[in-house]
Each structure stands twice: as structure tokens, then as C-alpha cells.
Copies of this chain bind each other. A is one copy, B any other.
Amino acid sequence: MHNYKQEIEDCHNRIKPYIHNTPVMTSTYLNKLSGAEVYFKCENFQRMGAFKMRGATNAILQLSEQQQKRGVVTHSSGNMAQAVALSARSLNIPAYIVMPENAPSVKKEAVLGYGGQVTECESTIEARKATADSIADETGASFLHPSNDLNVIIGQGTTAKELLEEINGLQVVMVPVGGGGLLAGTSLSVKSFGSECITIAGEPMAADDAYRSLQSGQIEKNITFNTIADGLRTHLGDINFPIIQKHVDRIIRVEEEEIINAMRLIWERMKIIVEPSSAVPFAALLKEKEKFAFKKVGIILTGGNVDLANLPF
């Protein structure tokens, strides 16, 4: 039987030396526009530019000393690759990162910049898994899953904990849902540290596996991943799904143009850079704004790693 409140508190104390307690920002204009009182938790200002730093650090710190020495391995073309590389470097252990050969060179350079050892492979999910497995076999490195791992889930939950501790009386906390790690961790923190507070996720209509999974009661897959929210092109796992089923109030789906519009509003009005995935929960709030009227809403802005040469506006 888990005592999640205690586990999240212990985790937070464990990872604090390696992460930033990121600022919470507000915008008078966006409050007027939405009709809600919105508090944005800026994980785009987190180390390496995304909340993933939290879960990766916690998962590595939970390994034994022997395991840590042999290093960690993951496959990712996104923020988890950078998070594992940087948290491993902070702890002085090797990080093996499997990246698809067609990943943007800027992402490979970022991982290399954080000291990660990059192995390229074909871009299929099978090739990525096989390459990671063979590295794990050779080196004895521990495999880190980006979202379907309880240590990662608990680590991501510390974001909402900080937000709830800083802003009293939040009635809703909103996050995007992709792999489900942040959503599961957030919902556990909301139950543990919130008071009459609920968790709501935003999800791209074009990759709405989590919405459909909650409807059907089993993990559904995406046929396509045609969304600009590149951090959300994945699906739930068997560890985070039961938590999401139990603790998440609901999922609101949004269209691509709603995501781009919300992203543009955040850039133009708050003067901060957030990646498309970050804009999904605010897009969801705007879509159903009458339901959030006068509510105190916390939104986790998940990251700020974008390719400036390839913006949607």
C-alpha cells in the first residue's frame, strides 16, 4: 500500500539539490481573456528546459550505488534524452541515449552538450527498444522509461506540489497528457497536497489515446500522431493508467489551431518561450472557459525547448 504523500515529500527532498523551484507567473490579460484566475508554473525555466528533469533525477537517485556506477540508458528524441543526460552528469554517472537517426541535429547536440553518449538507430520504436536493450546488456546500465515508471511519476509530481504550496486555494490543476507520467504524478500531488482541488488534462485531438482510454477503461493506442505538440506523441502505460483512472477528473481535447493560438497568446502576452505541448492545457481552459469562470486554476507549462527555425507562426 503506497503512501503517496510521503513518497512525494521524500522524493522532493531527494531531488531538491538538483532542480530549480521554478517561478509561478500570472498575466492580467490572460485572466481577463479566460475569465479565470490562472497561475502558470514555469517548468520551461527548469534545468534543461523541462519538468522531465525531476523524474529522471529521482529515478537515478533511487538506483543502488552499484547500479548508478553502471549508468543509465533511455531512448528518446525529446526532453527525456536531455533530462537523463543532464541528471546523470549531475550525479557523475554515464548516460547512454538512443536517438533515431532522423532526430534534429539540434537535439543531438543538446544531449552531447550535457555529456550524454548518443547511439543512433532507425527511427522505428522496435529499433529504438532493441538498441537500448543491447546497450543495457553490454554495459549493465539501467533502463529509464520516460513516463511509465513509478519513480518518474513521483518525481514529476513534485511540480504540482511546489505549485500548490506556493498558491493557496487552487481549485484545478491542469497539465497536458502524453505518456501519462506528469498527469499521474500531478493527480497524486493534487490529492495529497490540494484541498478540494481537481486534476484536469488537455490532450491534442490528433493523439487522443488518453481520452479514449478513460472512456473505454483500457489503454488505447493512437493510430496517428499528427500533432504539433511533439512531447505528446506517445501513449499511456500500465503503471500510470490506473493512477490516472482513479485520480484525474477529466480530459479535454483540443484542435491543432487551438494549441497554436494558446501558444501564441502565452508567447506574446507573457513574453516567455514554451513548447507546443505546454500550451495544450491553456487551450483546453479557453475551449471550455465557461466551466472555469472565476476559478483559481494552476497550469503547468511543461517545457521551453522549441526549434526557433520552425515555429508555427
Contacts and interface: CB of A to CB of B under 8 A. Distances in A.
Interface in A251-287: 264, 267-268, 271-274
Contacts of A49: 271
A147 to B, nearest CB: 22
A23 B26 CA distance: 13
Interface in A194-224: none
A309 interface: yes
Number of identical monomers bound together in the oligomeric complex:
2
Interface residues of A, number: 17
B271 A45 contact: yes
Contacts of A23: 23
Contacts of A273: 267, 271-273
> Which 3 pairs from chain A and chain B are nearest by CB?
A271-B304, A271-B273, A44-B271
Interface of A: 23, 25, 44-45, 49, 264, 267-268, 271-274, 304, 308-309, 311, 313
Given A271-B272, A271-B274, A308-B311, 9 more contacts: A23-B23, A25-B45, A45-B271, A49-B271, A267-B273, A267-B308, A268-B308, A271-B304, A311-B311
20 contacts: A23-B23, A25-B45, A44-B271, A45-B271, A49-B271, A264-B308, A267-B273, A267-B308, A268-B308, A271-B272, A271-B273, A271-B274, A271-B304, A272-B272, A272-B273, A273-B273, A308-B311, A308-B313, A309-B313, A311-B311
